[in-house]
Structure 1
Amino acid sequence: MPVELVTIPCLKDNYAYLIHDGGTETVTLIDAPEAAPILAVLFERGWKLSHILITHHHSDHTDGVPMLEAATGARVIGAAADAHRLPPLTEQVTVGEAFHVGMDEVQVVDVPGHTLGHVAYHFARAGLVFTGDSLMSWGCGRLFEGTPEDMFTALGRLSALPDETVICSGHEYTEANGRFALSIEPNNPALLERMDRVKALRAQGKPTVPVTLKEERATNPYLRCHEPALAAALGMEGATPLEVFTETRARKDRF
């Protein structure tokens, strides 16, 4: 049976995700900004939470873990390298490792930059990757702990996944990210068309995530740093992709 993905709005602009594996009745949560809305979805659907996967230590991704673990007995999984600042873990995983949840193999992807211990979880069979605050819809996370090179390398790992991979990121930042992208390339038809769709979704109160990697490759400036058109728009003809990325991220910080 196929998996079912549920996107759950939390706090002001966070998202948590539930994956229901119909073949095994396994229910996995990725990040827990707060417990109440997640428990409400579990109750409504009659699902029992079995796993909680944490992408990074920031409180807006972890504050709901203790209550959810106490209420459900779910296993809590996170990066071994960051275990000292995550909620208590049932299982520690390392980057490059693969483990099984339900019928899927989950690959732990190293994505430092936003934080040094940040990981993403790629559900290979389902074609889903949970990126937290690394690769985001039409953007990437702010560099709180890592360097531009860290994030550039991390995004390269995610961009190497298949086109049809679905990116599940941690916040509703798409429209703001799109406004920044259009500030660099105001006449880019792909960006303008995407913004129209994003505004229509938000006008209906609907999430703009998840989104396919194919669309991110086509419109996300942080995945297009190798394109001469973006370098030219920044006045950086001949610059390396890393130099273009560094300047783009710095401009977003000032935007």
Structure 2
Amino acid sequence: MTRILSVICFLTWLAQPASAQFDSISRPAPVPFRATYQIYAGTQLPFQHVAGVEVRPIRQFSVFGQVGFPSVPYTKWMLTHFSPENRDIDYKYVRDNLQSSISYGVGGRLHLGKWRVSGWWQRLNYKVDGTPKRLVEAFAPDQARTIENITSALRPILPGIVDFYENQDLTPTGHFSQVGLSAGRTFYIPQVPRLSISTDLGVLYSARINTKVDRLEPAFLREFAETNILPLIDEEIKKQFESRFIPTLSISVAYQIR
């Protein structure tokens, strides 16, 4: 019986086309995809420089997390070229006194061969130096007289309020929550298989903006700032920059560590 089955199997193999016979013998078994990990660094015009980690659990999809270092020169350029026509804000003062702090973001990518489509969320943080008085004059000049009248009225019951308003630095932080979508291509370096360069062109949407002060003591000064000054700054920044689309170009270098 065993000999009969062997003959049947041999005849079945002979009945196949020659190419199929050859493929069944010589074709190697497909190599399963192994998850890869890579680190990358690059620049995201016109916002920041970034560094991050990307994990690719399957061939077609990856996730990434990154930290950003908002570039003051980039932001000054953006304020010059993308500022709305309504120039209520003193953009020159903002550019001259702008600081940046670390930002962060997370996202995912769909890989189509060497091409890729990315979607992500990021939060950018910017600070502007200045006394409360100068910040009000820069962001909401039409409200400057009103705030001065409030400080004068509070002077008898809150000693030091006028000095705080006119002389102490406030340095509020603007938090920009953005979502982005981009498409790009990866270029592999033949001499260094683990090294690659990627370019992505996309758009960012400023979904939410809020302004806060990290540390301010004593409590009555914080309450004064949060009630009278920060809402003015927050309103003007939102009016100018919230719900806006801004094009972005990213260039990054990645190294696969596994």
Which structure has the larger Rg?
Answer: 2
TM more than 0.5: no
> TM-score scaled to structure 2, two decimals?
0.21
The structure that is strand-richer by fraction is: 2
> TM-score scaled to structure 1, two decimals?
0.21
